[in-house]
Amino acid sequence: MPANLHPCRISPAALAVLTWAVAGIVMMSLAADPPASDKRPAELSGKVVAVHDADTITVLAGRQQYKVRLAAIDAPELSQDFGRKAKQALSSKVFGKQVRVETAGRDRYERVLGTVQFLPSVVKVTSRA
């Protein structure tokens, strides 16, 4: 053990490193949990207004658009084999439909991650009298 260190003391350099490490951990934890105003809703309902590829859609909820990455789906990219066919298949199922999205956080591109459910459509029935 060096002569200038006491067994119960930390060197100034080690203390500086420890201080910066703790500050970094605090900053990362604050960044991981944004203020309530920045959080995505736990659930959103709206109309699918765009299909970007086979696993990403845009939902218009009120006046706000949300880019939604379908959770637990691994689909080919547009440039990969069957990528365009996969997008067409998803589009034929969801485009223009009313959906509910149960959100599960965000991905690295800040898209909402979620499970999409169709909302029942309202059918108007009129009678001729």
Distances 94 to 56, 75, 107, 110 between C-alpha atoms, Å: 11, 16, 21, 22
Residue 84 is among the residues annotated as catalytic for this protein: no
First-residue to last-residue Cα distance in the chain: 101
Residue 111 is among the residues annotated as catalytic for this protein: yes
For residues 23 and 82, membership in a common domain is answered with no
Query: Based on the structure, what is the number of domains in the chain?
Result: 2
Structural domain of residue 80, as residue ranges?
37-118
Q: What's this model's pTM, rounded to 2 decimal places? A: 0.63
Q: What is the pLDDT along the chain (129 residues), one digit of tens a residue?
A: 555 655 656 667 665 655 665 555 655 555 544 554 455 568 999 999 999 999 999 999 999 999 999 998 889 999 999 999 999 999 999 999 999 999 999 999 999 999 999 887 655 555 555
List the one residue out of 93, 98, 91, 94 whose CA is nearest residue 46: 98
The residue from 9, 43, 63, 77 that is catalytic is: 77
The residue from 9, 40, 108, 111 that is catalytic is: 111
73 vs 77: CA distance, rounded Å: 12
For residues 105 and 47, membership in a common domain is answered with yes
Residue 100 is among the residues annotated as catalytic for this protein: no
The residue from 9, 69, 84, 110 that is catalytic is: 69
For residues 2 and 62, membership in a common domain is answered with no
- Is residue 87 a part of any domain in this protein? yes
List the one residue out of 75, 77, 67, 78 whose CA is nearest residue 114: 67
